[in-house]
Amino acid sequence: MKATIGFFSCLLLLGSGLALGGRPAGGVGNDVGPEGDAEYGTRSVDREYDAPYSDVQRILDAKCTSCHTGAAAARGLRLDSWQTLIAGSDHGEAIIPFDAGRSLLVELTTKLVGGPHPAEVGGEPLTEAEVALVSEWIDEGSPSETGEIPFADARNLLYAANQSVAMVSVIDMETNQVIRTVDLQQYGLPENAWPHHFAVEPDGSYWYLSLIAANQILKFDRDNNLVQQIDFVRPGLLALDPGGDNLYAARSMAAVSPPQAIGVIRRSDMMAEEVGIFLQRPHALAVRPGEGTVYTASLAVNQIASFYPEDEAVELHELAGDRPHTFIGFAVSPDGRWMVGTTELTASLFVFDLDRAPDMTPVDTIAVNAAPWHPVFTPDGRWVYVGNNWDNTVNVIDMESRTLAKVIEGNGLSQPHGAAVSPDGRFAYIASRNLEMPVGHSKYEHMYTPRYDTGDNARAGTVVVIDTASQEIVKIIEIEGYGAGLGAAAPN
Ligand code: HEC
C-alpha cells in the first residue's frame, strides 16, 4: 500500500514563491575557462605557444635524460620525448596539463625537502629560467610540437573532490593518471567551499558537484568549464536519474539540523525545488534506474524515505534496530533490482530488494568492517566495493552469496571515503581523506605518507586503484587535500 504522506513542499529556502533558480555562472565559465583561455581543455589548436615543446626537450636532454631514459629510467620515467613525459612514471603523472604548480616534475625540481631534484641524487638542478619555461609550457596545456594537448580526448573520466582545498582532481580511467585539476577558487569560490560529491551525466557531457560549506551545487561541462551554479543549503550526496532530467541532492553530515527535504534539480536548466521528505538529516541517496524512484535515509533515526517523482509522493519506512544505524550511502545495482545501504554505527551493509517496494524491509544484513562509507556496484552487479572509514580497509561484498568476500588492506587507505568503478568494470577506486585521525576512529599507522616530501603535502589525499580481477590495490594516486566523494559516468 502506498500511503502518500507528502508532496512537494518547496521554497523552504527562499520563501518567496519562487523556486530556487538555476543561474548561469556569472562572468565565469561559459566561454572563459579557469585559465582565462577559451581553448582550455580543447583539442589541438593552431596557435603559437610562448614555450614550445622543443625548448622544454632541450632542457630535459641537458639535465634529465642521463637518468631518465630507456629501460633503466629512474622510476620508469622517460624524459626523452613528449609522449613518454606525458605517460609519466611507474607511479603516475609527472605533469598535470595547465597546472604547473601541482605538477610533480615542477614540485620536485623546486621544493623537494632536502634539495631540489635532481641535486639530491647528484644531478644538476634546473635554473630559475628553466623552471619558468617548463612551467609556462605546462600552464599552456603541455602541447606537443604539433600543438596536441594531452588527454583532450579522454572520455572515461573520474572526478575526485579535494574537500579541504576547494579543488577537483580529474583522473583518466584508462591510464589512472591525474590529467586535470579544477581550482574552484579561480571561479571566485572560497578556499573552504568544501567540494564533496559528484553526479556525472551517463554520456559524460556534464558533471555536478556539491559544495557543503559554500551552499551551492555546480554544473560543469566535460571540458571543466563552469556552466551554472545554484544555491542549496548544505548539499551532501548527489544522484541523478539516468533516464530522466532530474538530479537529486541530500544533505551533508556537517549539517546538524538541515531542512527535512531533498533537492530536485532539473539538469537541463538547473531549476531546483526542495521536496519535503519529513525525515531528519537525509544523507544516503540513490535513484532506481528505469523507474526513477529516489531513496534517501536519515542519519538520526532508522527511517528511509521513498520519493516518487511522477506523482510527487513520499513514503516513510521504519527500520528495525534499537539504536541508530546512521545510514551513510546507498547504491543501486545497474539492473535496478538491488539496493545496498551502508551504516556507520552498526557496521552493516543492508540489502534491499527493490522489486518488493514499497516494502523496504531488508532482505539481508551483512556484517562488515567499521564505518562502511560510499558503496558502489561493479557494472555486472556482482560485487560491491566500499571503503571502511574507521578501519582503513576496503570491503568487497559478493552479491551472489551475500557475503563479505574480501577485506583489502594496504598503503594509501587512510579514512576511505568515496567509491567509483570504471565503466568497463576493470578498476574500482576508493578515495581517502588522510586527515589527522580522530582517536578511536582509525588506525593511526595507516596514515599515508606521500612518496616525496615537498614541504606542504603531508596530508595529501589519495585515490587507490583496485584491480577488480585480483581484488588488490595496484596503484596509489596522490591527489590534493582530503579526498572525499568520487564521481564517474554510470554505473553507480
Ligand atoms: C642523477 C640521476 C637523475 C637525474 C639527472 C634526474 N633524475 Fe629524476 N629521478 C632520479 C631518481 C633516482 C628518482 C627517484 C627518486 C627517489 O626515489 O627518491 C627520480 C625521480 C624523478 C621524478 C619522480 C617520478 C615519480 O613518479 O616518482 C621526476 C618527476 C623526476 N625525477 C624528474 C626529473 C627531471 C625533470 C630531471 C631533470 C631536471 C631529473 N629528474 C633528473 C634520478 C635522476
Q: What ligand 1 atom has the least distance to the C-alpha of 124?
A: 5
Q: What's the CATH code of the domain at 231? A: 2.130.10.10
Ligand 1 geometric centre to CA of 210 (Å): 38
121 with 162, same domain? no
270 with 175, same domain? yes
Q: What ligand 1 atom has the least distance to the C-alpha of 77?
A: 24
Q: What ligand 1 atom has the least distance to the C-alpha of 91?
A: 26
Tell me whether residue 31 is in a domain: no
Per-residue confidence at 355, pLDDT binned at 50, 70, 90?
Answer: very high
- Asked if the model's pLDDT at residue 37 lies above 60, the reply is no
Residue 394 Cβ contacting ligand 1 at under 6 Å:
no
252 with 280, same domain? yes
pTM for this entry: 0.91
pLDDT of residue 356: 96
Single out the residue in 108, 139, 170 at which a domain terminates.
139
Report the residue among 57, 59, 77 best suited for mutation to probe ligand 1: largest number of ligand atoms under 8 A from its CB.
77
Question: Which region, left, alpha or beta, applies to residue 4 given φ > 0 means left and ψ of -120 to 50 means alpha?
Answer: beta
135 with 240, same domain? no
Single out the residue in 78, 105, 139 at which a domain terminates.
139
Closest residue CA from atom 33 of ligand 1? 64
199 with 93, same domain? no
Tell me whether residue 170 is in a domain: yes
pLDDT (tens digit, 9 = 90+) per residue, 414-452?
999 999 999 999 999 999 999 987 776 666 567 899 999
Report the residue among 57, 59, 60, 68 best suited for mutation to probe ligand 1: largest number of ligand atoms under 8 A from its CB.
68
Per-residue confidence at 222, pLDDT binned at 50, 70, 90?
Answer: very high
**369: which 3 cell numbers?**
568492517
Report the residue among 80, 108, 451, 478 best suited for mutation to probe ligand 1: largest number of ligand atoms under 8 A from its CB.
108
Tell me whether residue 59 is in a domain: yes
pLDDT of residue 46: 58
117 with 59, same domain? yes
Contact 215, 235 (CB under 8 A): yes
Q: What is the pLDDT averaged over residues 170-179? A: 97
What one-letter code names the amino acid at 398? D
Q: Round the average pLDDT of the chain to a whole number and report it.
A: 90
The proportion of the chain whose per-residue pLDDT surpasses 90, expressed as a percent, equals: 85
How many CA atoms within 13 Å lie on the side-chain side of 134?
31
Residue 72 Cβ contacting ligand 1 at under 6 Å:
no
Report the residue among 121, 124, 130, 133 best suited for mutation to probe ligand 1: largest number of ligand atoms under 8 A from its CB.
121
- Asked if the model's pLDDT at residue 10 lies above 60, the reply is no
Tell me whether residue 45 is in a domain: no
pLDDT of residue 50: 83
Closest residue CA from atom 19 of ligand 1? 74
131 with 163, same domain? no
Nearest Cα residue to 492 out of 228, 242, 245, 188: 242
Across 14-18, 147-151, 348-352, 408-412, least confident range: 14-18
Residue 67 Cβ contacting ligand 1 at under 6 Å:
yes
Residue 196 Cβ contacting ligand 1 at under 6 Å:
no
- Asked if the model's pLDDT at residue 490 lies above 80, the reply is no
Tell me whether residue 351 is in a domain: yes
- Asked if the model's pLDDT at residue 135 lies above 60, the reply is yes
Residue 119 Cβ contacting ligand 1 at under 6 Å:
no
230 with 273, same domain? yes
Q: What is the pLDDT averaged over residues 215-241? A: 97
The per-residue DSSP string of 207-272 comes to EEEEETTTTEEEEEETT--EEEEEE-SSEEEEEE-TTSSEEEEEE-TT-SS--SEEEEEETTTTEE
Total domains in the chain come to 2
In whole angstroms, give the CA distance from residue 236 to residue 282.
9
Per-residue confidence at 238, pLDDT binned at 50, 70, 90?
Answer: very high
Contact 425, 380 (CB under 8 A): yes
Q: What is the pLDDT averaged over residues 356-367? A: 96
Look up the domain containing 86 and give its range.
Answer: 53-139
432 with 350, same domain? yes
Residue 450 Cβ contacting ligand 1 at under 6 Å:
no
Residue 64 Cβ contacting ligand 1 at under 6 Å:
yes
Higher-confidence residue of 435 and 342: namely 342
130 with 225, same domain? no
122 with 211, same domain? no
Report the residue among 57, 65, 67, 86 best suited for mutation to probe ligand 1: largest number of ligand atoms under 8 A from its CB.
67
Q: What is the pLDDT averaged over residues 400-404? A: 98
Tell me whether residue 36 is in a domain: no
Closest residue CA from atom 10 of ligand 1? 74
Per-residue confidence at 27, pLDDT binned at 50, 70, 90?
Answer: very low
Nearest Cα residue to 223 out of 46, 42, 86: 42
Tell me whether residue 19 is in a domain: no
205 with 234, same domain? yes
Tell me whether residue 222 is in a domain: yes
